[in-house]
Structure 1
Amino acid sequence: MALDSYVLGVILVSGLVTWLSRIFPFVLLKHFSLPAVVINFLSFVPISIMTALWINSLFIQHLGHFPAVDWPNFLASGPTILSAMISKNLMVIVVVGVISLAVIKAVM
C-alpha cells in the first residue's frame, strides 16, 4: 500500500508543479509589463513551434541515413498550407489538414 500512496503523491505533486509553472507567469505578468523588444521576440514563438512540428512530421528518421519523406504528410501539407493562406483561421487549417490526411491515407 505504501507504493500506491507514493505513486499517488508523485502524481499529485507533479500535477501541482505543472499547474504552478503554467499559472505563475500569468500572475507575475499581471503586475509587471514586458519591454516591447521582448513582446516582439515572443510573437515569433508560436510560428517557430508550429514550423518545427510541421518539419518534424514531414520526415521519417533513420539512424545513420538521411531522413525519408513521409509522403502522406507531405501531400496533406499542400491543401493545408493553401487553406492557411486563404483563411488565416486556425480551426479551418486544422480541419483541412485532418481531412486531407484522412483522404490521402484512405486512398493509399
Structure 2
Amino acid sequence: MNVLWTIIGCGIVTWLSRVIPFVLVKNFDLPKWLIQYLSFVPLVIMTALIMENIFTHHAGSLPTVNYENLLATVPTFVAAIISKSLIVIVVVGIVSMALIRLAF
C-alpha cells in the first residue's frame, strides 16, 4: 500500500511542478529579455541529452566517445535540417541506430 501512495504522491508532485508555472505566468506579462532568454531552454536541454549519449563518463578519467550513438546522430541531424519534422527525425534516428547495431 505504501508503494501505491508513493506513486500517487510522485504523480501529484510531478503534475503540480508542470502546471503551477503555467498558471502563474498566465496572469503576468514577462519582460522581453526573459522571454528571449527562455527561448534557449529547449535547445540547451536537447544539446545536453545528445552530448550525454554521445560521450560515456568514466569516474576519474576523461569521457570516451560512444561511436554507435555518434554515427546514428549524423543522419538524424541531416534529417532534422532537411525535414524539420519530428516524426521524420525520430524514424531516421531509430532506423539509423537499428542499422548500426545490426552491422556492428
TM (norm. structure 1) is 0.87
Q: Where does structure 1 lack aligned partners over 5 or more consecutive residues?
A: none
Structure 2 counterpart of 1:103, one-letter code: L
Following the alignment from structure 1 to structure 2, what is the Cα–Cα distance between the partners of residues 49 and 21? 17
After superposition, the C-alpha distances for 1:59-101 in whole angstroms (9 at most, x for unaligned) are 1122222211111101111101111111122221111111101
1:27 to 23, 26, 31: 23
Q: In the alignment, is residue 16 of structure 1 matched against residue 18 of structure 2?
A: no
Please report how far the alpha carbon of residue 47 of structure 1 lies from its aligned counterpart in structure 2 after TM superposition.
Answer: 0.6
TM (norm. structure 2) is 0.90
Alignment RMSD = 1.4
Q: Where does structure 2 lack aligned partners over 5 or more consecutive residues?
A: none
Following the alignment from structure 1 to structure 2, what is the Cα–Cα distance between the partners of residues 98 and 17? 32
Counterpart for residue 66 of structure 1: 62
Following the alignment from structure 1 to structure 2, what is the Cα–Cα distance between the partners of residues 95 and 38? 34
Count of matched residue positions in the alignment of Structure 1 and Structure 2: 104
The percentage of counterpart residues that share the same residue type is 51
Q: In the alignment, is residue 54 of structure 1 matched against residue 45 of structure 2?
A: no
Structure 1 segments of 4+ aligned residues over 4 angstroms from their partners = none
Counterpart for residue 77 of structure 1: 73
User: Which of the pair has more CA radius of gyration?
Assistant: 1
More strand by share: 2
Structure 2 counterpart of 1:11, one-letter code: I
Q: In the alignment, is residue 106 of structure 1 matched against residue 97 of structure 2?
A: no
